[in-house]
Structure 1
């Protein structure tokens, strides 16, 4: 369960839907005598796979044990590969193990599955194995290109020697290369059938991603394997990111991507593809792919989508439905928001009536260049931003529009259109738009003072800047906050924390800085010991626009609280940032405070970590030796 804030600032518990446990279900099927869904597996092999899945879930930390496990399991599948990949449990295990398969085992699966591609690509279980096999083979095929200058890149077939060391032989790399080309061309040749198939459509997407070198799509989380040591800290691409990372791929791969784009864009029903979930998702991947392949094709695709699908010249709005929705929005707004921020209803282009099309529009905004971006803004968004930003489904599109704006002359009209709607955005809960605006103000270096003024007005603290930081962190107007309980734990909004951090990096962050420094030490502790509030210390200590005197004052205000800060989970990370920003003299004073009760510091894992990082034991023995050790360490790091 997790807590969510209500309109009056109190927290309510939201019950999360319990996730299905695949392993528990597999064991349950086995007890009933049902060896999973899909193709039939022998009882012994099914029970063996259940045990393997259980062992993988527990974690296999030793690399040799992991290699042995993978080899043994794949060895057991010899002669039954098609039955295994067609079974729900078997397909899951093979999908998890293929990335670690030896060259021999991977090639065996390539040879056995290739003749059955037509059937396997449309199967609800084996299609996942085909998809994984494609990703693994492509990864191995281009592995030796990743440290090569893209301008000097040549196809693998023409390369006599790998430019980087690889644990796979040239013969295996060549076979992986050939298999990748084979699967992708097979998918291209069957494009008309695969586009409409629920499972084959995913193979099309994987093929396009592999060919174009896409690592992760915007907002996509990396697939984590069940082996514990293979789970990465990377949590995916964060919001408000405007760049993507691509692998280096051969020119032959890029040519096939162009074929995919040309074939799809020439379809008579192309203009209808954005309005279905399956085809919209495919077009999104295609847009991200061609961005790395050919800028002219990207421009043609986006232009075709804009003029034929998103906002054709002859579109007609459904005025009756819009009128009902607008009346409902206005009625809700007038209950709690001043009439001056009422939303003016305007007809919306067809793209905003369908969620699948909206997501494709966001992808188009991401890949569009300046001129194309301006056309999208003019045809779909201009004079409609206030209305779109207050709609639950569409406010994310407004965020992506602002995120991808790079020109001051375009951003300023957007800001002017939205600055009077801050109260409405807070009321309807679409505070992500405020985050996007704040980040754009920082990135483009425009309208920063106006943003702070508009936010103050929305939070009703224009005359009293003392509580700016607290109201911003909670994203609640001043009258809804009990100001007498600021030294006790309270809910901090994640968007409020990000907005405050961004404001601290503005060119003139005086109001945010002063409001933080006017808080008492206990009130600061509540913020810095919070999961979301602790990041405020990062911005405060790293911002070039926050003065040295302000940082000194913050360090002085926390005197006597550093040990308490270091003992907590999130306070300890805030403590590290503050300690790094402190002068040498201040660091000695902080260390003296910690050393007074060092045994208490070692009572929690976080405090112990801080004590070890700062070498508190050495400081207690000799301050001079500690200073010399710190100096030597800083020289080595430089």
Structure 2
């Protein structure tokens, strides 16, 4: 075996599509004399919208100028709204501007679009405008009900609770910037669209475009802001650089919902009741379009009715995921995106898998079910779908992600222990096949639940082939996620590849209740070897865990600080080493801080040779230290 990490399929990289540039494509259509796709638009109007789109992409910092642009463009569409939004370019521009529209313009679109809803919801362009109208109307209708931080979903179990009194009526929590009349109109429009979608549920579910309107309706009614692993929709109308949004981390652990009126929540319940009585309900999980809808419904009902959530999960588990009478056939033409169950790189004997694992849409729905399930339901899902199959699933290319979600949502010790016992002897197989994300989830679960931490360390050492002779290299082998016989331990003071999963695992181990092996291993490395780790993008975060770890002793931190003596200047000049230096500096005592500053101030001119050095010098006030050490000490005392 080579020392290289497992590579992804090269064919996938070849076939990966380049991201579309909408504006570039629109200009290309104009050069060909084609004025967009969809309904016909005059050349003059098409060029006008091209100019507007270009201006929006460049950004307009003056707020008055921005609002003037929005008002002028929407005024230009007056009387021709349906034709303009039926054109791909016109639809795009209107969709981007509606969130910033005046109450008058927004209500005009309400009146024009509502009579034509049936046709518009199934159109590949206008359906996007309907979605935007629904979202904007819902946001404005519920804006005054929101408090700072939103409604964080609690993590309590299904134990008896006192009924919340705020269910009956939600009092305004902030003053709306819109008039009461406009807020009421938005409320009524959002409600009308959602009821219309509910009344046409049977048709909309199977329509590629109307299905997304159903999803938007359910999200608005339940107060969902972002789904797990969903990035915020990027609006080309950039207001200014400060407002550019940073996409959230994938797999949000705690859903955040907005406050919504009780009437909205009742409609969500109606969606669940209508869908759950369908004769074809058990097959909905196995098609992309319906699986996506059910995922949204699961996240929505979680915020509305815990009992109904449990009932929906039970129905999915017993009728779709693993029905009592299921038989492994290996072929089912009705299921979309079948997963190749034969492509199993593990030496473990294959056992039959429930139907849910034969279809990617169903697997994604199962992952959503794990996230919203409470303890009792989580146990039932584990027992029917995963028990005695974890080692097989964890080594499969697609299904290992579902095993990760299983561990990510494990909250109790009694659940983790049997799962850990089933998988602990297979860590070597997981490293060999490249499914290292499962090891990360397992480490985080051991940390979160405070169980099986010592056993996890022993299993990882066995997988990395660590012996008493190379024990001190445990942190390095963990960072590289390679067994000892595949690493040249004599070259650790030179730059090498650090696996991002290995870094996260080592950080979790440093937070364990007994991190002695990881701590002592790091302290036994030479300063130059530590420098390689701390100056790496992924390795630098190890310094955070070492300095902040609850069970890392003060003496161990002191040793680390003294061990790096003479290398702080080098750390400060590096992009990633500079952030590691800041964490180490924060953990140091005042006496140690003075020693670090003395070393850095001796050659302070060097710090200005890189932008990272300049930033560190400014943050730590190197010039102030050189001018007066006493004043500097007074400033940093107690920090």
**How many positions carry a matched residue from both structures?**
613
Matching residue of 1:400: 405
Of 426, 432, 436, which residue of structure 2 is paired with 1:431? 436
Matching residue of 1:8: 4
Give how far 1:625 is off: 2.1
Matching residue of 1:490: 496
Counterpart Cα distance in 2 of 1:513 and 1:182? 61
Give how far 1:485 is off: 2.3
**Does residue 1:95 correspond to 2:101, yes or no?**
no
Counterpart Cα distance in 1 of 2:66 and 2:585? 41
Post-superposition Cα deviations, 1:46-76, rounded to whole Å, max 9, x if no partner, equal: 2122222222222323333332332232222
- Give SS of 1:451's match: helix
Matching residue of 2:525: 519
| 1:217–1:237 contact (8 Å) kept in structure 2 | no
Give how far 1:470 is off: 1.1
Of 200, 212, 221, which residue of structure 1 is paired with 2:210? 200
| 2:343–2:396 contact (8 Å) kept in structure 1 | no
**Does residue 1:271 correspond to 2:282, yes or no?**
yes
- Give SS of 1:219's match: coil
Post-superposition Cα deviations, 1:71-119, rounded to whole Å, max 9, x if no partner, equal: 2322222222212211112222222222222222222222221111111
| 2:478–2:503 contact (8 Å) kept in structure 1 | yes
| 1:419–1:451 contact (8 Å) kept in structure 2 | yes
Counterpart Cα distance in 2 of 1:619 and 1:84? 65
Structure 1 residues 80 and 146, CA gap change in structure 2 (3 angstroms): same
Of 227, 236, 256, which residue of structure 1 is paired with 2:248? 236
**Does residue 1:608 correspond to 2:614, yes or no?**
yes
Matching residue of 1:565: 571
Counterpart Cα distance in 2 of 1:205 and 1:584? 56
The equivalences for 1:431-580 within 5 A come to: 431-463=436-468, 464-580=470-586
Of 409, 413, 418, which residue of structure 1 is paired with 2:414? 409
| 2:6–2:433 contact (8 Å) kept in structure 1 | no
**Does residue 1:297 correspond to 2:303, yes or no?**
no
| 1:155–1:252 contact (8 Å) kept in structure 2 | no
Structure 1 residues 33 and 602, CA gap change in structure 2 (3 angstroms): same
| 1:153–1:250 contact (8 Å) kept in structure 2 | no
| 2:6–2:434 contact (8 Å) kept in structure 1 | no
| 2:534–2:543 contact (8 Å) kept in structure 1 | yes
Counterpart Cα distance in 2 of 1:219 and 1:287? 15
Give how far 1:501 is off: 0.5
Q: Which runs of 5+ in 1 are unaligned?
A: 334-341
Matching residue of 1:617: 623
**Does residue 1:246 correspond to 2:285, yes or no?**
no
More deviation, 499-508/57-66: 57-66
Q: Which runs of 5+ in 2 are unaligned?
A: 152-163, 333-338
Give how far 1:427 is off: 1.1
Counterpart Cα distance in 2 of 1:96 and 1:554? 53
- Give SS of 2:257's match: coil
Matching residue of 2:25: 25
More deviation, 147-156/596-605: 147-156
Structure 1 residues 346 and 94, CA gap change in structure 2 (3 angstroms): same
**Does residue 1:381 correspond to 2:382, yes or no?**
no
Of 580, 587, 595, which residue of structure 1 is paired with 2:593? 587
**Does residue 1:365 correspond to 2:380, yes or no?**
no
Of 172, 185, 199, which residue of structure 2 is paired with 1:175? 185
Give how far 1:551 is off: 1.0
| 1:504–1:513 contact (8 Å) kept in structure 2 | yes
Give how far 1:436 is off: 0.8
**Does residue 1:115 correspond to 2:115, yes or no?**
yes
Counterpart Cα distance in 1 of 2:593 and 2:283? 64
- Give SS of 1:303's match: helix
Matching residue of 1:338: none
Counterpart Cα distance in 1 of 2:120 and 2:622? 61
Matching residue of 2:132: 132
The equivalences for 1:278-317 within 5 A come to: 278-317=289-328
Give how far 1:596 is off: 2.2
Structure 1 residues 392 and 75, CA gap change in structure 2 (3 angstroms): same
Structure 1 residues 44 and 220, CA gap change in structure 2 (3 angstroms): same
Matching residue of 1:216: 226
More deviation, 267-276/605-614: 605-614
Counterpart Cα distance in 2 of 1:279 and 1:295? 22
| 2:509–2:518 contact (8 Å) kept in structure 1 | yes
Give how far 1:300 is off: 0.8
Counterpart Cα distance in 1 of 2:424 and 2:6? 27
Post-superposition Cα deviations, 1:141-162, rounded to whole Å, max 9, x if no partner, equal: 1111112998564788x96xx4
- Give SS of 1:78's match: coil
Give how far 1:352 is off: 0.5
Matching residue of 2:156: none
Structure 1 residues 457 and 598, CA gap change in structure 2 (3 angstroms): same
Taking structure 2 as the reference length, the TM-score comes to 0.91
Give how far 1:230 is off: 6.5
More deviation, 442-451/577-586: 577-586
- Give SS of 2:98's match: helix
| 1:521–1:557 contact (8 Å) kept in structure 2 | yes
More deviation, 400-409/253-262: 400-409
Structure 1 residues 48 and 570, CA gap change in structure 2 (3 angstroms): farther
| 1:473–1:500 contact (8 Å) kept in structure 2 | yes
| 1:138–1:210 contact (8 Å) kept in structure 2 | yes
Matching residue of 1:260: 271
The equivalences for 1:149-168 within 5 A come to: 151=164, 153=166, 162-168=172-178
Matching residue of 1:339: none
Matching residue of 1:336: none
- Give SS of 1:610's match: helix
Post-superposition Cα deviations, 1:412-439, rounded to whole Å, max 9, x if no partner, equal: 0100000011011111111111111101
Structure 1 residues 325 and 116, CA gap change in structure 2 (3 angstroms): closer
| 1:67–1:100 contact (8 Å) kept in structure 2 | yes
Give how far 1:603 is off: 2.8
Give how far 1:378 is off: 0.8
Structure 1 residues 19 and 238, CA gap change in structure 2 (3 angstroms): closer
Counterpart Cα distance in 1 of 2:524 and 2:493? 13
More deviation, 493-502/109-118: 109-118
| 1:224–1:230 contact (8 Å) kept in structure 2 | no
Of 186, 189, 198, which residue of structure 2 is paired with 1:188? 198
Post-superposition Cα deviations, 1:365-419, rounded to whole Å, max 9, x if no partner, equal: 1111211111111111110111011111111111111111112111101000000
CA RMSD of aligned residues (A): 2.4
Give how far 1:505 is off: 0.1
| 1:212–1:289 contact (8 Å) kept in structure 2 | yes
Structure 1 residues 69 and 626, CA gap change in structure 2 (3 angstroms): farther
